[in-house]
Amino acid sequence: MSLTNDYFVKMVGISKRFGAIHALRDVDFDVRPDEVVALVGDNGAGKSTLVRILSGVYAPTKGEIFFQEEKVNISSPAVAEKLGIEAVHQGFGLVDCMSISRNVFLGQEPTVRKGFFFRFLDLNKMNQESDRILQTIGARSQVNPKSEVGFLSGGEKQSIKIGRAVLFNAKLLILDEPTMALSVRERHNVLELVRDLKRQGVAVIFISHDIHVVYDICDRVVILEMGSKIGDFPKHEVSVDQIVKIVRREE
Amino acid sequence: MKTIGEFLSKRRELGATVGSILLVLLFSLGTGGVWLSVRNAQLLLQITSLLGIMAVGQTLLIISGEFDLSVGSVFGLCGVTFVTLVSQAGFGVVPAFIISILIALFAGWLNGLIALKARIPSLIATLGGLFIYRGLVYYVTGGFQRSFPREVRGHFLIKMLGGSFVYGYNNSIIWFLLITVIISIVLAYTVYGNRAVSVGGDPTSALSRGVNVIKTKWIAFITTSTLAGFAGLCSVSKLYIGATTLGEQMELESIASSVIGGCALTGGVGSIWGTAIGAFLLSTIRSGLIMMGAPPYWFVTFVGIILIIAVIFNASLSAWMKRRYYL
């Protein structure tokens, strides 16, 4: 566990209850700048709950969050966004019935003034910026900013969510099972995108129940089980096999 | 490349438009051309407008993922309150107008409070409203039909709402067009519109992007109810009377207009212009059946049939689109 002060985000003593279910018990977790932290554990370990607290979707039952030395209250996703914490959640984050450009800017729509006091969406800017994202992620040629998200593949959806986070200058990117249900090629693209981000100095929390996916790109591995933290290692101290053993409780 | 087929298939209004054209043809032929007369067009457009103002609001609410069954009663309550305040309580026309509109606004706020804060499904919350506001209609009128005294019938505001500036064409037609244009612009080109679609399409995703889901839906509730009340005021300003049955069944007709116009009741998908055409279609059926000599009660049966055809048409259209344009 890090006792130094150079953390970027630090969560201390986080507990979360959903009625009778104790999803998290007294978990400490931190991320340092430009570090990729792999958050692993079996289904129901509390990985998603932990990052949803960090991204303002859930409020913790107990515990504190420090952001660059300062105590913060991340009461909503909008607050997280302001701090530079962008989350790519599993299964949601894009509205299927809307176009790519409208999705990219949802919640932070740019506007232009037309006439005396009317403000309208800046559709030109939205389309241009979205087009840049599509080029960065290497989307197929028939996909354009006006395409409805519901018609896209799973990999394209994930890439757009990550691309959007970069557009809004994320300092900390949270990826919750971003490669689940993706084809081999799509998974490769998403991992490449994460490597790019790391090079740009973005801190990343990468959640996966499969350590093989994240081992290559991570710097540190944190293991959760049944809502408690049971391991926190710099990558060079553990091998994939050791981590698998810990997750399976074979040690 | 855009083909005509691709363009048309992406318009949610397609079904309602085709249906309207067919009905206009049917009724024109069926009445030997009488139905096409100017006088009938004026009447038809006026009925369309009152329903349409309500339905356009309803569509905004359905797109944002909720719906409002109390609009018919709010239409009635606002109408009779306006008339009763002027005729029985001696209020001026303008204060009575303001109070009536505030009642509609408050009803919408209350619907939002119950549906969004207390998390009662909007079907139940507004069904309660349907009965409560209808009950208040009886309270306000005392069960009697109220009418504007002769001397206020020429008042400018009443003329604005229910008179005719363009000879023969009721002003509610202008209000309807104006409101339709405004709401469709709001939906397509403003921040609020973008968020309204998102909270209806996928509230979890919208919330995760920092959209205030409750506030967005609440605004839609208030807008819908206020527009319904406004339509009620237009109605009594035209007829000069407010009866206890004012606006009955209009809640279902407004939802039917939205659905015929291409709305999905699941939210996120719909068309304001489609709804306007849907309201026109329903009003066409009503007037056409009467002119062809069918007893008026066939109207509801017809509406049911058209509604089901419309839903099947719209659903198969989107399925076809998915097959054809899946990226």
Give per-residue pLDDT as tens, B196-209: 999 999 999 998 88
Q: How many helices (H) and strands (E) does chain A have?
A: 8, 12
Percent of chain B's residues with pLDDT above 90: 60
User: Is A51 within a domain?
Assistant: yes
Rounded to a whole number, what is the distance in Å from the CA of B222 to chain A's nearest CA?
A: 21
pLDDT of residue B99: 97
What DSSP assignment string belongs to A161-179? HHHHHHHTT-SEEEEESTT
Percent of chain A's residues with pLDDT above 90: 36
The least confident of A72-86, B3-17, B276-290 is B3-17
pLDDT of residue A92: 86
- Chain B residues with at least one Cβ partner in A under 8 Å: 189-191, 193-195, 197-198, 201-202, 204-211, 268-269, 322, 325-327
Comparing alpha-carbon positions, the chain B residue that sits nearest to A103 is: B198
Tens digits of residue pLDDT in A141-158: 888 999 999 888 888 898
Rounded to a whole number, what is the distance in Å from the CA of B189 to chain A's nearest CA?
A: 5
Which residues lie closer than 8 Å to A85 by C-beta, 6 or more apart? Answer: A9, A54, A55, A56, A74, A170, A171, A172, A174
User: Is A237 within a domain?
Assistant: yes
Question: What CATH number did the domain enclosing B37 receive?
Answer: 1.10.3470
User: Is A144 within a domain?
Assistant: no
What is the predicted ipTM?
0.85
CA distance B78 to B70: 12
Contact between B69 and B111 (Cβ < 8 Å): no
The least confident of B18-27, B48-57, B262-271 is B18-27
Residues of B in contact with A81 (CB under 8 A): 210
Does position A233 have pLDDT exceeding 70, yes or no? yes
What is the band of A211 on the pLDDT scale with cuts at 50, 70, 90?
A: confident
User: Is A50 within a domain?
Assistant: yes
3-class state of residue A183 by DSSP: coil
> Structure tokens of B97?
């107008």
Residues of B in contact with A87 (CB under 8 A): 208
pLDDT of residue B301: 86
B226 vs A115, residue with greater confidence: B226
pLDDT of residue B250: 93
Question: What CATH number did the domain enclosing A15 receive?
Answer: 3.40.50.300
Tens digits of residue pLDDT in B260-288: 998 888 899 999 999 999 999 999 888 88
Does position B94 have pLDDT exceeding 60, yes or no? yes
| Mean pLDDT on B66-72 | 96
Does position A224 have pLDDT exceeding 70, yes or no? yes
pLDDT of residue B1: 44
CA distance A100 to A95: 9
Which residue has tokens 């309660």? B128
B26 vs B180, residue with greater confidence: B180
| Mean pLDDT on A95-103 | 94
pLDDT of residue B7: 66
CA distances from A121 to A117, B101, B211 (A): 13, 30, 16
Give the domain range for residue B280.
4-325
pLDDT of residue A2: 42
State how many domains chain A has: 1
| Mean pLDDT on A202-210 | 89
What is the band of B3 on the pLDDT scale with cuts at 50, 70, 90?
A: low
Does position B325 have pLDDT exceeding 90, yes or no? no
CA distance A155 to B64: 28
Give the domain range for residue A69.
9-98+169-247
b vs e for A42-53, b when ≥16 Cβ sit within 10 Å of the residue's Cβ? Answer: eeebbbbbbbbb
pTM of this prediction?
A: 0.88
Residues of A in contact with B207 (CB under 8 A): 57, 77
Which residue has tokens 């607290």? A53
Average model confidence (pLDDT) across chain A:
87
Beta bridge mates, A64: A12
- Find the Cα–Cα–Cα–Cα dihedral B102, B104, B110, B116, rounded to 10°: -120
CA distance B110 to B98: 18
The least confident of A217-226, B105-114, B152-161, B303-312 is B303-312
Interchain proximity B201–A119, CB inside 8 Å: no
User: Is A240 within a domain?
Assistant: yes
B194, B322, B324: best mutation site toward chain A, by most A Cβ within 10 Å?
Answer: B194
Residues of A in contact with B322 (CB under 8 A): 151
| Mean pLDDT on B312-327 | 74
Task: Out of A95, A120, A121, name the one closest to residue B205 (CB).
Answer: A95
State how many domains chain B has: 1
Between the two ends of chain B, the Cα-to-Cα distance in Å is 14
pLDDT of residue A1: 41
Average model confidence (pLDDT) across chain B:
90
